[in-house]
Amino acid sequence: MLQNLIKTALGETDADLILKNGTVFDVFTGEARTADVVVKDGIICGVGEYSGANEHDVTGKYILPGFIDAHVHIESSMLTPAEYARIVMARGVTTVIADPHEITNVCGEMGIEFMKRDAGTVPLGVRFMLPSCVPCTPFEHAGAVLTAADTARLSPEFLGIAEMMNYPGVLSCDGETLGKLIQGRPIDGHAPLLSGRELDAYVSAGVTTDHECSLPSELREKISKGMVIMLREGTLSKDVEKLAPGVDARVSRRCVFCTDDRFAGEIMREGSIDHCIRRAVECGIDPRDAVCMATINAAEHYGLRTGAVAPSYAADIVVCDALVPTKIYEVYKDGILAAKDGEAVFACESAAAGAVTDTVRLDPVTAEFFAHEPADEFTAIELVPRAIITKKAHARRGDKLTKVCVIERHKRTGRKGFAYVTNFGIKSGAIALSIGHDSHNVIVAGSDDAAMARAVNALIPRGGIAVCGDQTEYLPLEIAGLMTAADAQTVVKTHDRLEAAARALGVTEGIDPFLSLAFLPLPVIPEIRVTDGGAFDVEKFRFLENV
C-alpha cells in the first residue's frame, strides 16, 4: 500500500480520484489555494498539480476536510446508527465520536453490540467511547450496570472512556468511579460550572474534555487547565452563542464542536457540524478557526488520522460552495463518494434489533397510581427556556404547577417519584416518554391523573412518545424505547405532528415539550431534578423531602 501512495504522489501510478482545480483549505496554515487533491487507496497522497485518469473537475468549489462531531449520542436522533449516518453524511460529517450510554443504560452490553453492528453497515466513521456512567449515579435505577471491572474488560475495544458525569464520585475518590478512569486513553468529561480546586481535582483524574460549559469565563478556565472544550449545538442546549465571546485565535485550537443530543428534525432542517460552523461565524469566530474546530482539532485530540486535506490523511473530504458552507455538493469517506447534493448515495441494511426491543416493562396504570399531594410549602422545579439547566423555585400547595412523575420501567420495581414544575404550561392532558436521561425510566407530566395514566399506558411495551389530549398521538420508539427503525422522513413527520399536539395542550413557548421533560431525570445537571426516587437537589446531591 505504501508503494501505491508513494508512486501515485510522484505521478507514476494512476490515482483512484483526482479532484481538479478546487480551492483547498489548509487547516495547518489557515490558507486557501487552488490545487488538485489526489486519492489512492482511501488516502490523500498529493495536493498540488496533477493530471491523469479519474479526474473530477471541482472548479469554483471549496475542498474541506470531512467534519467531525466530537461527542454525540446517536440515540437522541431517534434513528438507528445506519439511518442517522444517511442524514449527517449528507451534511458533511464523516466521523462521529459516539457515546452509546443511552441504550447501554437500558440494555447493557447488548445495546452496545446493537449499535456497533448497525453502525458497521454504513461508511460513516463511528468511533465509540465506552460509557462510564451506567447508571450515571449510584442511586439511579437503570436497566443495566457497568462496573469498573466491566470497564477494564471492555475498554480495549473502544476509542476511550465516555463522559464521566459522576464528578462528585471523582472528587470524593470513590473507588468504583476511579476504577472506570482508564489512564492513557481519552476520557471525556461532564462537569457543568465546576471551577477552582474542584476543577483541578477533576482534571487531575485524567479527564480531558468538557461539553457542559455555559459561560465564556468557564470555557477559558477549563482550557487553562488543559482541557479541550466542546461547543455544543444540540436540540435543547445551544451553547455556541454563549461561548463564542471566549474563543479567540489563541484558544481556538483547544475548541471543537459537538451536537451531543440532536433530533433528526434539526439535523435535516438546519444541519449538524456544518450548522455549528455557520453559527460560530455568525457569533464572531474567525471562519478559519471555525473550520479547524470542526475538523483537525477533534482529530488530533482523539488521535485520528483525518481532519486535514493533506498527504497521508484519510480521504474524508467535503466539496462545498464556500469556506463557511451553505451548500454541500459531495462528501467522500475514505475516497469513496458517500453523499451528493444533500442526499446519501450508499445503501445500508440495519442490524436486527430483536434483543433490544419491547423494553418498557410496566403493568398498566390507573389514575389512582398518580395520587400525590405536596407539602404546604415545597421546592418546585423551574424550567429555563431553551436550556438544559433548571432552577429551584419556592412553591405552595395550590399554585398552578404541572405534576411530573418518573416511573422505573426496567425491572418492574414499582418505584415512582414525584415533583412539580413551573413554566411547563400544560392546561389539559398529558405527555409521557420512555426517554428520561440517563436511566431512561418513563417520565410523564400532566394536568390530571387520568390523562397521565393514558399517556403512560400508550408506551407499553414498545416505548416512545405519547401526547394525550382529546385523542392520543404516539411515536413508537421500539428500539430500547429510544430509537425506531423507521426512516428519518417518517420520524420527523410524526414527531412534528406530536409537537403540534403538545403545543395545543398549552406547553410554554421556548420550552421543548419533549426534551425539557427528557432531561428532568438527569441528576447531574444543576440545580434540581426528579428521578424515580423523587425530587433531587443536584447542588447538595441529595433527595428533597416534603415534595
> Which of these, 50, 31, 30, lies nearest to 39 by C-alpha position?
50
| Edge-to-edge order in the sheet of strand 93-98 | 67-72, 93-98, 125-128
CA distance to 75, 110, 155, 267, 409, per residue, from 80 (Å)? 7, 15, 23, 14, 22
The span from the CA of 158 to the CA of 55, in Å, is 37
Amino acid at 257: F
For 93, the 3-state DSSP assignment is strand
Q: What is the pLDDT of residue 527?
A: 92
The span from the CA of 494 to the CA of 475, in Å, is 6
Q: What is the pLDDT of residue 479?
A: 97
CB 339 within 8 Å of CB 511: no
Domain boundaries, the chain: 2-48, 70-302, 357-543
Which pTM was predicted?
0.96
For 369, the 3-state DSSP assignment is helix
Tell me how crowded residue 398 is: count the other CB atoms within 10 A of its CB. 8
19-56 per-residue burial string, b: 16 or more CB within 10 A, e: under 16: bbbbbbbbbeeeebeebbbbbbebbbbbbeebeeeeee
CB 355 within 8 Å of CB 110: yes
Q: What is the pLDDT of residue 291?
A: 98
H helices of 322-475, in order, are 449-457
Low-confidence ranges of the chain (pLDDT < 70): none
Total count of residues recorded for the chain: 547
Lookup: cell for 414: 414499582
Lookup: cell for 395: 412553591
CB 527 within 8 Å of CB 391: yes
pLDDT, tens digit, 9 for 90 and up, residues 457-469: 999 999 999 999 9
Residues paired with 443 in a beta bridge:
406, 433
pLDDT, tens digit, 9 for 90 and up, residues 211-226: 999 999 999 999 999 9
For 198, the 3-state DSSP assignment is helix
- CATH for 70-302, options being 3.30.470.20, 3.90.1150.10, 3.40.50.720, 3.20.20.140: 3.20.20.140
Tell me how crowded residue 355 is: count the other CB atoms within 10 A of its CB. 10
The span from the CA of 167 to the CA of 32, in Å, is 42
Q: What is the pLDDT of residue 282?
A: 98
Q: What is the pLDDT of residue 203?
A: 98
H helices of 45-107, in order, are 81-89, 101-107
Residues paired with 189 in a beta bridge:
164
Q: Cis bond leading into 138, ω under 30°?
A: no
> Which of these, 11, 96, 91, 20, lies nearest to 55 by C-alpha position?
20
Task: Judge residue 239's burial from the number of C-beta atoms within 10 Å of its C-beta, 0-12 exposed, 13-18 middle, 19 or more buried.
Answer: buried
Tell me how crowded residue 68 is: count the other CB atoms within 10 A of its CB. 29
